[in-house]
Chain A
Amino acid sequence: MPLSIGDLIFVCFVGITFAGAIMAVSLKNIFHNALSLALTLLGTAGIFVFLHCEFLGLMQILIYAGAISIAIIFAVMLSPPLSLKPKKRSVTKVLVSLSVSTLTFVTLAYIFIRTPWPISANADAGDFSATHIGEILISRYAFAFELISIVLLVAILGALVIAHEEPGDRRLDPEISLEDERWAS
């Protein structure tokens, strides 16, 4: 099966995604991790476009790559310094994690490949447009829509409540945090 131009571009996006994902979990500096996450999200947005979901791809870039990773980067940057020396990885832990995730991957891949998925003959015939999504979202899935709105509201309030620092509760002691190995790996 010869590779077309489309295949090449697809493989490029997949490569970006993989590279970002692997860097996001393997690099030691948390700031680099966050940036790699943004890279992965951009790659995923490209994959979304290949799935005919241009709207979702756009949303992915806007919300995920734009807002969420920025929020994480902010959290990282608002926290104490990055210049601390990262602690060495524990070899056992890496081995365990690697073997567990490899085992999971093998299982998943086996299932994905062996299962006879009921693929429809004219898969791309339907209406992928944002208009259609909008219509369904406020008719059939209106309740879920309302629910997710409430979840977001509650999350915002919850985040405020949890992170709110009581005046008398200031236990953030800079001396302790400097000795701390929070930035390890």
Chain B
Amino acid sequence: MNLNLLHISVFANFLAFVVIVFLPKTWVKRSVTVAVSFAGIGALASTILLFRQFSAPAPIEWVIPWLKWNSAQVNVGYYLDTLALVMLTSVCVISFLIQLYSVWYMNEDPAKKRFFGTITFFTWAMISFVVSVNLFASYLFWELIGLASYLLIGFWHEKASARAAAIKAFVMTRFGDLGFMAAVILLIIQVHNTDISFLITQAGSQLGQTQLLIIVGLIFLGVMGKSAQFPLYTWLPDAMEGPTPVSALIHSATMVAAGVFLLVRLFPLIELSSAGMHYICFIGGLSSLLTAILALLERDMKRILAYSTCSQLGFMVMAVGAGTWSGGMFHLLTHAFFKSMLFLLSGYFIFASHHSNDIFDMAKVPLKDKSKLMLALLWIGALALAGLFPLSGFMSKENIFGYLLEHHHYGIYSVALTISFLTAYYTSRMAFVVSRDGHHQMEHHTISKGLNIALRVPVTVLGLVTVAGVWVFFPWLKEFFQLHLELNREFWLNFGITTTVVLTGIGIAYLYFGRKTFSEKGWVGFVPGLDFLIAKKFYLDIFWNAVMQKGVYGLAKAGFWSEAHIVNAAVNNVGYACVRGGKAVTKLQAGEVQRYIVIAVLVIVAVVLYLTFRG
């Protein structure tokens, strides 16, 4: 029964993909129905599965042997423990909600069919990655996820910027993927088995400390690419060129979370390498801090959210690196819900301000033209992201802070506090600016009733989860994630510190953006140099361009030289010989079929005669 439910939730989206691919081109509406209903079935199945598995924490394993060579074996199938189950359910549910939302968002797009086809394909790949029994199979799905992301970022391929962003995302994540691939190959060579259950229980003891460090480093390279960590994060803000539902699904809730999920998945293995852990923690903190700073001055709402996604992912990576997989995972979970909600809301506000992404354009729209529900949800999302009691973001962040304090990681704790302050500041800046009352008169958009449901239901559900989800599941979550939320003296101390920091951030944002008069840059304009650095994006884009241009171009040049002088010389001479020989032989090729027949018959006769007289 449980296995069947799992089959349904995994293959519902795949089935939708296949059906949509084979539907006739003109059946646009029907393909939308197919996608949404199949995703709904998948989401329902996974939710039922979640409730059924509450009581039975034994992992579901379902294995088919696939490849075998020498002593190594690769299996495909499911390995569904509670961790994967939680992720599976959240992916299925969020994907369903976002597809529902896309019915509204993509309503007027002529290429809807392609959109829904790709998004169901993506969802299938993501789910398969999550439940895969084997790291090698995971890697394949990891690549499929990257492909789907490429297709969706470049969905509006008529736009040059979308094409460029798609290619950038693909190339940058490929950097990381190379590392992941190398890690998988190394694991196959070293321990002959890449089953996840094996890796997290026994593989560690078979590896030396150096080997382990190399493998962890390579895996983390993959994570850096997919989860947009320093220095590979630059693709994520650009990826906002894709349609907003894509940003919500892929670039906040699921795909970029795949990297963190991989870290958590392999945590028992990674944990064994303390050097690797330090490295992970450092990179996570650095990316989180840098991207939080970049978000301070950003005016594009989707890019603010993108930077905050980078920043929160860095926060999770840092938490995992500090030693609490549950902290990272729990935050990943809560973040997925409220961040995808924020993205969906940004889609609405962009629509309301007549297709401008700029938050200051949104500020010009009169308050009466903005839906009250949407504004309320925007504030809920922003405060959850900032980490204010009693929203879900508070719980997950508090959990990480609690762990850091308990294990005396004061350095990391202070970095995390800084990030928390910056986050509170820029998210409430965004919320304050967007919810301003403007006087810019514009014609009013109306949304038809059916589409209004498609717009409102997903965001409301996500908002409800953000507010109440954690409290409903609290006892179970507390047990599974071993939350550090005991009501003791440290908790209250911690609670006091973080709430003060968050409220300070929100207060400063209010001072600059909440009152009648407001500046565009806020306090950042007064810090010498910071302004400039942010404008240059810490020179990272320039750095990567240089790497691409100088490094790759140099490599290409070297390749070209060796090709011209070594390979080509050889090839050319062979070629010339062939050409000359060919010219000689062409004389036979009169193009007349009958001449060919004569030759063929003569050859056959010769062969037959040879065979007859040989023996």
Contact = CB atoms under 8 A, between A and B. Distances in A.
B56 interface: no
Contacts of A111: 608, 612
Interface of B is mostly: helix
A100 B601 contact: yes
Contacts of B58: none
B608 A107 contact: yes
B549 to A, nearest CB: 52
A104 B598 contact: no
Interface of A is mostly: helix
A107 B609 contact: yes
Nearest to B599: A100
Interface residues of B, number: 8
Contacts of B524: none
A96 B605 contact: no
A107 B605 contact: yes
Contact of A96 (B598, B608, B609, B612): B598
B602 interface: yes
Contacts of A96: 598
B602 A100 contact: yes
Interface in A80-115: 93, 96-97, 100, 103-104, 107, 110-111, 114
Nearest to B598: A100
Contacts of B609: 107
Contacts of A104: 601, 605
A100 B598 CA distance: 7
A114 B615 CA distance: 13
Interface residues of A, number: 10
A110 B605 CA distance: 12
Contacts of B605: 103-104, 107
Contacts of A107: 605, 608-609
Contacts of B608: 107, 111
A104 B605 CA distance: 6
Nearest to B609: A107
Contacts of A100: 598, 601-602
Nearest to B608: A107
Interface in B587-605: 594, 598, 601-602, 605
Contacts of A114: 612
Contacts of B612: 110-111, 114
Interface in A49-101: 93, 96-97, 100
A103 B604 CA distance: 11
Interface in A93-147: 93, 96-97, 100, 103-104, 107, 110-111, 114
A83 B602 CA distance: 36
B296 to A, nearest CB: 66
A93 B609 CA distance: 24
Nearest to B604: A104
A96 B601 CA distance: 12
Contacts of B602: 100, 103
B599 to A, nearest CB: 10
A104 to B, nearest CB: 6
Nearest to A106: B605
A82 B601 CA distance: 32
A114 B608 CA distance: 14
Interface string A7-45: 000000000000000000000000000000000000000
A181 B608 CA distance: 38
A130 to B, nearest CB: 35
B614 to A, nearest CB: 13
A72 B598 CA distance: 25
B319 to A, nearest CB: 64
B485 to A, nearest CB: 69
A111 B605 CA distance: 11
A107 B606 CA distance: 9
Interface in B544-571: none
A100 B609 CA distance: 14
A150 B231 CA distance: 61
A111 B601 CA distance: 16
Contacts of A97: 598
B612 to A, nearest CB: 6
Nearest to B602: A100
A104 B609 CA distance: 10
A96 B602 CA distance: 11
B467 to A, nearest CB: 64
Nearest to A104: B605
A104 B594 CA distance: 16
Contacts of B601: 100, 104
Interface in A140-177: none
A127 to B, nearest CB: 34
A12 B605 CA distance: 31
Nearest to A103: B605
B397 to A, nearest CB: 67
Nearest to A93: B594
A100 B597 CA distance: 10
A102 to B, nearest CB: 11
B601 to A, nearest CB: 6
A172 B121 CA distance: 50
B596 to A, nearest CB: 12
A93 B595 CA distance: 10
A100 B602 CA distance: 7
A111 B602 CA distance: 16
A100 B606 CA distance: 12
B411 to A, nearest CB: 75
A167 B92 CA distance: 53
A104 B597 CA distance: 13
A178 to B, nearest CB: 25
A107 B611 CA distance: 12
Contacts of A110: 612
Contacts of B598: 96-97, 100
17 contacts: A93-B594, A96-B598, A97-B598, A100-B598, A100-B601, A100-B602, A103-B602, A103-B605, A104-B601, A104-B605, A107-B605, A107-B608, A107-B609, A110-B612, A111-B608, A111-B612, A114-B612
Q: Would you list the 4 A-B pairs with minimal beta carbon distance, nearest first?
A: A107-B605, A100-B598, A104-B605, A100-B601
Given A97-B598, A100-B601, 15 more contacts: A93-B594, A96-B598, A100-B598, A100-B602, A103-B602, A103-B605, A104-B601, A104-B605, A107-B605, A107-B608, A107-B609, A110-B612, A111-B608, A111-B612, A114-B612
